[in-house]
Each structure stands twice: as C-alpha cells, then as structure tokens.
Amino acid sequence: MSLEVTINVPGLKELSEALMQLAVAMGGKSVQMDEAAVGQAVHEQQSTEEAPWGNASIPQQNTTGAVPTPSAPVQASAQSVQAPAAIPTSEPTYTRDDLSKAAMQLMDRGMQAQLMQLIQSFGVASLMELSPEHYGNFATGLRGMGAQI
C-alpha cells in the first residue's frame, strides 16, 4: 500500500524571507538561498533511505548551509481527511413514539422485566403515564439497556 502526501504552503517564499530577516535582526548571519541550493536540498531529501515506519524519510544534513524548502505541493487524499464529528450543543428531544420503538427492541429481546423496572423507577406504571420532561432520562436508561435510540 502506498500513501502519497502533498503539502502546499502558499506564501512559503515570503515566510522564508521573513524568517531570514528575523534571524539577521537577532544577530545571526544572513543565508542566501539560491535555486541550486534549494534544488540540492530537495534532491538530498528525496534520495534518503526509506524510514522503517513507511514511505516517510529523514532528510540527510545538507552541507550547503541552505535551509531546505519543500518543492512539491502536498495534497491529502479525500479518504484520509475526515471532518470532525459534530458535537451536539443541545439536548436531543424524544417523542413517546421514539421511546416506544426503543422499548419494543428490548421487549423483543425478552427484557420485559428490566423494562418495567425502568418505567417504575420514574414513578409510573406505564410509558403512557411518563411525563415529557422525563423522556431524555428514560431514553438514557433505554440506551443503557442496549436499545438503539
């Protein structure tokens, strides 16, 4: 299996120049980057041996004093990039029908006694008597018993 990663950094040249100016301002020596030095650094990076953890490689230390910069844009494949899961910002609402369907799942598994205990823990004898303000907690109880809701 091969994985190719491409990184595209807009404004990399400007950033590199700004870093060089900052280094000079802090007392460092100015490093001139010419096309040959960058090309050699990229070539050295591409010719290194494969690392034991895959296709990534560790660049060899260059002897030119030039700072290597990436020459090829990097793109991540659509399969490797996933959007973060949405975090609910409000409590879900349930209807009596939602709760009944989830309760039926438990009854189909032969869990009538446990289901009745859950219902009675809310001080009612049946789901029909459960007040809507308790639906969320009842749904949590159903989920804890294995119902999909």
Taking only the tens place, the pLDDT of each residue in 72-128 is 555 555 555 566 777 767 778 999 999 999 999 999 999 999 999 999 999 999 999
Would you place residue 5 in the very low, low, confident or very high pLDDT band (cuts 50, 70, 90)? confident
Q: Is the pLDDT of residue 63 over 90?
A: no
* Residue with tokens 């959007």, as numbered in its chain: 83
* Contact between 43 and 106 (Cβ < 8 Å): no
Buried b (16+ CB within 10 A) or exposed e, 88-112: eeeeeebeeeebeebbebbeeeebe
Would you place residue 49 in the very low, low, confident or very high pLDDT band (cuts 50, 70, 90)? very low
Q: Is 46 helix (H, G, I), strand (E, B) or coil?
A: helix
